[in-house]
Structure 1
Amino acid sequence: MARPNVIVIMADQLKATALPIYGNPDVRTPVLDRFAEESVRYDLAFAAHPLCTPSRVSLWTGAYPHDHGVRTNEAQAPKSRDNYLRQFHQAGYRLALIGKNHCFGSEDLALFDEVEEFSHRGRTHASDARDDRFRSWLNTDAEFDRLWHAHPTPVPQEECPAARITEEASRFVRTAAEPFLLWMSLPEPHEPYYAPEPFASMYDPERIHLPEGALEDDTAEPVRRRLYRELCGFDDMDEASLRTAVATYYAMVSFVDSCIGRLLDTLTEADRDKDTIVVFLADHGDFAGERGLMVKCNSLIDALTRVPLVIRIPGIDAAGDTVADPVSLIDVMPTVAHIASVTAPTGSRGRVLPGLGIPTEARSAVFAEYGAGSPPMTYDQGVSRGHAQRDQLRPLLRAAEAEGRSKMVRTRRWKYIYDPMDPVDELYDMEADARELHNLAADPAHGGIVADMRRRLLDWSIRTEDAEPTALYFDPGDFSPRVEPHYAPFGA
């Protein structure tokens, strides 16, 4: 395909198992069901980090958070690090970001031919009466302070952020010069949990299936999840509230599905579907009822790291196929760039995705991580401060998110999570225990598995560290000095 157009559709905080194409019997997504039949679906796709900014930067750099350096939501894609956006710009692509950014700074944004930024509360710049009405409704609902609070919105769907973004993205698809790369970044189904009609009435909370183990008390949880549960008051959430939150989350998923349908219809009507690669994915997941929790925390379980990934490439013979090999979101843009004959940026560690008829090396395992290296917050420290300063809940959660450097390795069968600051490691047999309810890490019978997974983590950490080369005082070609060293080498 010569210089294809590219559309990357990103949902925010959508776990794979919230979708029927990944086995959820409760949710209705007719657009994505049909799209998957025309595409290649990846059954085990994982974010490199289950927070917005680190995951998004990993997608666009093709590198891991400890590699590109963005490990919190307060950072941006580094100016010093090349990325795929810059490479597509240099290749002559017309670029558009329509939706939630939470990734690029001003210098990279200047490369876009069109930027229409939206947050969870509407358009970020140049807002109008529709944004004012939507924000007014959100701001007057004090109950949204509860992370699990959810209900319908009186605001019509065409005034909600996802619909507004779809409207702008469809306009771009109809009018943009080719070749173009569109990043349509939807803020839903991220909290606050709300849904417009008719989606709000689509799911009866009493009829949905809660995730297995949602209402069980797990006293063997790692400190990071126990602290999140305590600080956010999830122990006070009853089953009715949990069901309402999950049902509303599902309603938001169906709303997102309808928005994707409108964009795909526009692509077909504009006769651009036959020369456009369309990627659908999410930046990370949501507990969405698992372990009786909502939203996300510094945990690396599948609910937060496993995301949908579906790619439609016109004319591909593998349409409708499912790929079982584990893959990472850092592999997405290397694959698209390969097809578009765009040069990969320096420091990209992703590889071409399997299942597309392109020579590549399938992954035997994928990796994810959390934390920015800050000191630990013990359970007692967090709880005592949280009770004393309830208005400091979000700063405490940010501090807990930044602690340490927990890491995950995931194969088809096994999941291992290691955090040197937490007394509880995690090992799960994903074939027998898909909800990760039975931690096997302390079981002597699985000591060999733990050792192998730790070896994989160590090997990955060593191979991917220090992507930016250290300045040398000698020429690596002939070892002749470049500058005088600041110290006397070898004790001279």
Structure 2
Amino acid sequence: MTDELRADTFGFRGHPIVRTPHLDALAKDAAVFTNAYTNCPMCAPARVSLATGRYGLSHGVLDNAFAPVEDEVSLYQTMHDHGYRTINYGKTHFNTPGSFGFEENYPRGLFDDGGVSVFGVTDRELLNRSVYKKNEGEVSLIIHGKNPQKPEETADSRVTRAYIDRLDELKDSERPLFYRLSIIDPHTPYFPTEPYASMYHPDDMPLPATWNEDLTSKPLMHRYYYRARGFDRLTEEDYRKSIASYYGLITHVDDRVGQVIARLKELDLYDNSIIVFTSDHGSMMGEHGFIEKWGIMYEEVCRIPLMIKFPRSKYQGSYDSFAEIVDIMPTIMDATGIEVPACVQGTSLMPLLRGDEVAVKTEVFGHIFTGGLQDEPALMIRSGQWKLTLYPGQEQLHDKLLNDHYLKYTPMFLEDVVEGELYHLEDDAQEVHNLFHDPAYRKIRDQLISRLDSWRNELGRIANYRGMERSEKNTVNSYHLMQADNLAKMQRLMSAEGTITQLNR
């Protein structure tokens, strides 16, 4: 499990710059799903959707500030109940009081020397030797730079080493093993160590065509985030450096994957194992002027890598059918002969792999929600080549801001409120031409909105986020602090208690 890793940044996907030889080799042995989507491009919601096989509206983790409703059943608990030894190394971010079914859990914090967090460099001596830039605004993170640590000293490298070393003991386990490695890279900070920091030169990084796009045709939420996060103050050089730093982190991820695969082969575990490689969501690298994520549902954040290597490399090949992060849980259970719980909303990908054409998925769904700014989540559907996202309640965004917010009472809120996005991705892969308010496409827009409504109704009971009192919401407006990798850290970061809210149905 990685974090913030785009689906298109691999050699085996034809990327012309990023070097990923170990993942390229794994892909040759795996079933590769080239149209896999997260159901929310935000950490906790996506990770709980993977764990439960259920959409965020149902399990209750709409953004990083929510905990799952109490009766949610996880993949890890189910595997444990069927005799598997369930062990996690690294980031969880489920917002649960326990480990969500892992009988052993070794969080990333155990391997972190405290020098680098997702928000920046906290060690003064390390800070003195560091070179980096943070975006000047909300959700202020390191968007490019060079980490002076040695590559083996970073927290993710230490987690990976501990995971690999433990294999010597676990290879002889009498119980079947569910063994999870979850690293944060290439999540921010985009702050690679050498040699990765110099591996890709900024001058050689091509910019996306939309890096300085006019956002007037986009929803107000996009325009707000673009300004509030200070992207309007970035230079062309900043974007090129950010891309180079991000690519360096990806190659570092690839090298760690290579270490894991090499050890599995040395211990004769590779051929008999199911290996799943994925990410919770992707990241923007200058597209539409954005870096990282938050408040948007463009392809760059919604598409995720997903490959599954089966024993003896069965089912290897490329599969173009849609897949969702909620499908991973039922696929693993189906592949291991465990009955999928009736509450699971994802579908197993095994029938597709076995050649059942009826199993081809033609739609994917998702949401994005930041409790400090929205009363209702934005909902997305992709059906065939059409993609629609609804952003309800944007006219209320101005009232959500604290009185001293620098964008409050500014002309930005006099601009047109664009209620959604509609793109035909075959003709407009970069999602430039928003057809949502174009009369010529009203029929297809209304059909997709109707399908979104029916999908929502098909989910059954949903989390009662509408019934929350204002005092229970993220009233401090510090939604940007919610990226820490466990509940205790989040609570310490926040200026008020009770920010992590558990909903009911």
TM more than 0.5 = yes
Alpha-carbon separation, structure 2, partners of 1:365 and 1:235: 34
Q: Which amino acid aligns with 2:388?
A: Y
SS in 1 for 2:437: coil
**Counterpart position of 2:494:** none
Alpha-carbon separation, structure 2, partners of 1:253 and 1:346: 37
Q: Which amino acid aligns with 2:190?
A: Y
Cα shift readout 1:136-181 (whole Å, capped 9, x = no counterpart): 2665669654235311111000011221121011123332124111
| Structure-to-structure mapping, 1:20-419, within 5 angstroms | 20-103=11-94, 105-109=96-100, 111-118=101-108, 124-125=109-110, 135-136=122-123, 145-146=134-135, 147=141, 149-176=143-170, 177=173, 178-319=175-316, 321-353=317-349, 355-357=352-354, 359=356, 361-371=359-369, 399-400=372-373, 402-419=374-391
Cα shift readout 1:71-125 (whole Å, capped 9, x = no counterpart): 121233443211211110111111111111111523335x42332211xxxxx14
Cα shift readout 1:378-421 (whole Å, capped 9, x = no counterpart): xxxxxxxxxxxxxxxxxxxxx23x44221000133111111222
Relative to structure 1, is the Cα distance of residues 224 and 107 closer, same or farther in structure 2, using a 3 angstrom cutoff? same
**Counterpart position of 1:437:** 432
SS in 2 for 1:276: coil
Relative to structure 1, is the Cα distance of residues 114 and 172 closer, same or farther in structure 2, using a 3 angstrom cutoff? farther
| Residue 435 (structure 1) shift | 1.3
Alpha-carbon separation, structure 2, partners of 1:76 and 1:452: 33
Contact 2:133–2:145 (CA under 8 A) maintained in structure 1: no
Structure 1 residue runs of 5 or longer lacking an equivalent are 1-9, 119-123, 375-398, 470-492
Alpha-carbon separation, structure 2, partners of 1:183 and 1:358: 29
Runs of 4+ displaced beyond 6 Å: 129-132
Contact 1:347–1:467 (CA under 8 A) maintained in structure 2: no
Relative to structure 1, is the Cα distance of residues 46 and 223 closer, same or farther in structure 2, using a 3 angstrom cutoff? same
Q: Which amino acid aligns with 1:438?
A: H
Does 412-421 or 75-84 show the bigger shift?
Answer: 75-84
Alpha-carbon separation, structure 2, partners of 1:180 and 1:54: 26
Cα shift readout 1:197-242 (whole Å, capped 9, x = no counterpart): 1111110111112222112323222111111111111111000011
| Residue 459 (structure 1) shift | 1.5
**Counterpart position of 1:458:** 453
| Residue 131 (structure 1) shift | 7.9
**Counterpart position of 1:390:** none
SS in 2 for 1:256: helix
| Residue 427 (structure 1) shift | 0.7
Contact 1:97–1:183 (CA under 8 A) maintained in structure 2: yes
Q: Which amino acid aligns with 1:205?
A: P
| Residue 342 (structure 1) shift | 2.1
SS in 2 for 1:43: strand
| Residue 56 (structure 1) shift | 0.3
| Residue 460 (structure 1) shift | 0.7
Alpha-carbon separation, structure 1, partners of 2:115 and 2:218: 44
Relative to structure 1, is the Cα distance of residues 287 and 71 closer, same or farther in structure 2, using a 3 angstrom cutoff? same
Task: State TM-score, norm by structure 1.
Answer: 0.82
Relative to structure 1, is the Cα distance of residues 66 and 72 closer, same or farther in structure 2, using a 3 angstrom cutoff? same
Alpha-carbon separation, structure 2, partners of 1:83 and 1:182: 15
Determine which of 439, 444, 448 is the counterpart of 2:443. 448
Relative to structure 1, is the Cα distance of residues 453 and 15 closer, same or farther in structure 2, using a 3 angstrom cutoff? same
The alignment of Structure 1 onto Structure 2 pairs a total of residues equal to 427
Cα shift readout 1:282-302 (whole Å, capped 9, x = no counterpart): 101111221121111111111
Alpha-carbon separation, structure 1, partners of 2:131 and 2:224: 24
Task: State TM-score, norm by structure 2.
Answer: 0.80
Alpha-carbon separation, structure 2, partners of 1:441 and 1:280: 35
Alpha-carbon separation, structure 1, partners of 2:190 and 2:377: 30
Q: Which amino acid aligns with 2:341?
A: P
**Counterpart position of 1:475:** none
Q: Which amino acid aligns with 1:28?
A: R
Does 338-347 or 362-371 show the bigger shift?
Answer: 338-347
Alpha-carbon separation, structure 2, partners of 1:188 and 1:45: 20
Q: Which amino acid aligns with 1:367?
A: F
Contact 1:84–1:345 (CA under 8 A) maintained in structure 2: no
RMSD (Å), alpha carbons: 2.4
- Percent identity, aligned pairs only, is 30
Contact 1:14–1:285 (CA under 8 A) maintained in structure 2: yes
